[in-house]
Copies of this chain bind each other. A is one copy, B any other.
Amino acid sequence: MSEKTGPLSERARVRREPRHADYERETLNAIIDAAYVCHLAFTDQRGTHCIPTACWREGDYLYIHGSNGSRLIKAAALGAQVCLTITHIDGLVLARSAFNHSMNYRAAVIYGVCEEVEGEHKLTSLDALVEKIAVGRSKEARRANAKERAATTVLRVALDEFSCKIRTGGPNDDDEDLDLPVWAGVLPLELVPAAAVPADERVEMPAYVARWGRQG
């Protein structure tokens, strides 16, 4: 909702319901940090594609990774313009009129071109992905060996050209609909952790695993 800053580009400007637009870096960071996955759109000789992929943030960059051979990684590594979008659904908004039904959500749309992350930074950025699951996990899990590192490409895109759009709160009905005998309100939705499922009993649950199902 902030009007302190605006979009960097015309294509990153929110047109529909601009009152929900937000171009603040803090808003963007919060949306990214709450996400495990983004949808990455790119265009190659076969058309325009939209592929889900894990994402994480370090500073002012969004990171993705994948097998060297994947189409997404190949196109993005070769400098295709990409659009990375993250959407959190927070609820269904039920209005008295069908037309004013809506959703509550937090979404971020990021435009850019990827650059490859290499050398020591590639290793530490893969650690950061594991740390996103739980602080300390990257010190427990076996780190990628040379073969695994060589098979993986890490890419990042600068968080410069973006927009966020957030809707919260109840329905916005037209005044003449307010007395209709129709229930109106919000049906919230939340992505919540359920109890962890161990692969076996050989290793005791770390605290972050034992806690998982209770965070909901």
Please give the residue numbers on chain A whose beta carbons come within 8 Å of chain B beta carbons, in ascending order: 10-11, 15-16, 36-37, 39-43, 46-52, 54, 66-67, 69-71, 80-85, 87, 89, 92, 94-99, 101, 103, 105, 107, 109, 111, 126-127, 129-130, 133, 137-138, 140-145, 148, 152, 170-171, 173, 177, 179-200, 202-206, 209, 212-213, 216
A71: chain B residues at CB < 8 Å are 15
Indicate if the CB atoms of B48 and A41 lie closer than 8 Å. Answer: yes
Contacting residue for A98 out of B80, B141, B177, B205, CB 8 A: B141
Contacting residue for A140 out of B85, B182, B216, CB 8 A: B182
What is the bound-complex CA distance between A200 and B95, given in angstroms? 11
Give the number of copies in the complex: 2
A16: chain B residues at CB < 8 Å are 66-67, 69-70
Indicate if the CB atoms of B212 and A183 lie closer than 8 Å. Answer: no
What is the bound-complex CA distance between A36 and B90, given in angstroms? 11
A188: chain B residues at CB < 8 Å are 193-197, 213
Indicate if the CB atoms of B37 and A87 lie closer than 8 Å. Answer: yes
A199: chain B residues at CB < 8 Å are 170-171, 173, 184-186
Contacting residue for A191 out of B80, B190, B198, CB 8 A: B190
Q: Given the known inter-chain contacts A36-B103, A188-B196, please indicate yes or no for A97 contacting B47, CB distance below 8 A.
A: no
Indicate if the CB atoms of A105 and B70 lie closer than 8 Å. Answer: no
What is the bound-complex CA distance between A209 and B94, given in angstroms? 10
Shortest beta-carbon distance, A179 to chain B, in Å? 8
Indicate if the CB atoms of B137 and A81 lie closer than 8 Å. Answer: no
Indicate if the CB atoms of A141 and B209 lie closer than 8 Å. Answer: no
Indicate if the CB atoms of A182 and B99 lie closer than 8 Å. Answer: no
Indicate if the CB atoms of B189 and A49 lie closer than 8 Å. Answer: no
Indicate if the CB atoms of A182 and B194 lie closer than 8 Å. Answer: no
What is the bound-complex CA distance between A81 and B126, given in angstroms? 34
A212: chain B residues at CB < 8 Å are 187
CB-CB nearest in chain B for A141: B98
Shortest beta-carbon distance, A96 to chain B, in Å? 6
Indicate if the CB atoms of B171 and A47 lie closer than 8 Å. Answer: no
